[in-house]
Amino acid sequence: MPAPSAKSTLEQSFRKYPPAIAATGRAAVTKMQRILPGWTAMVYDNYNALVVGFSPTDRPSDAIYSLALYPRWVNLFFLQGAFLKDPHRILKGGGKWVRSVRLESAADLDRPEIRALIAEARADAPPLKRPRRAALVIRSISAKQRPRRPRET
């Protein structure tokens, strides 16, 4: 039996989440792939979250953005966000490098202030060496994972 495709494996990971979170995550990944043609999307279904990182190369260390799905929300992470200009003060986080924006829907990726941050971060990314097809790569799937659906309270 052939191994499942990266796309079907990612879809299986989305199905673990509540429908609204899965729909936002799916749409956000699709939108980021359109914003970043030729970039590699790397999937990590980790213990805490489903993460899709975006890199202009096949190297995880060159990733500039990631989307992370949690049971109640989806975040867009800027992996060098501490160095971005943020005049609207929408970036959250206090670490040395990473900042994030919570997405209510994938349409938030069209907000001018978020598009400006995406463009600013992209300006510092390694350039694509040549036009290439975008890739979707499953980097890891953790055997042990936290629940992907919120607990009923």
CB 65 within 8 A of CB 121: yes
Residues 60 and 110: their CA atoms lie apart, in Å, by 25
C-alpha distance across the termini of the chain, in Å? 42
Note whether residue 146 is domain-resident: no
Q: Can you give the residue range of the structural domain that contains 131?
A: 6-139
pLDDT of residue 122: 94
Note whether residue 150 is domain-resident: no
Q: Residue range 144-153: average pLDDT?
A: 78
pTM of structure:
0.91
6-14 helix and 19-35 helix, angle to the nearest 10 degrees:
140
Q: Which residue has the tokens 């190297």?
A: 59
Note whether residue 1 is domain-resident: no
Is residue 151 very low, low, confident or very high in pLDDT (cuts 50, 70, 90)?
confident
Residues in the chain: 153
Q: pLDDT exceeding 70 applies to what percent of the chain?
A: 95
Note whether residue 71 is domain-resident: yes
Taking the CB of residue 107, how many other CB atoms lie within 10 A of it?
12
Q: How many distinct structural domains can be found in the chain? A: 1
Note whether residue 90 is domain-resident: yes
Note whether residue 144 is domain-resident: no
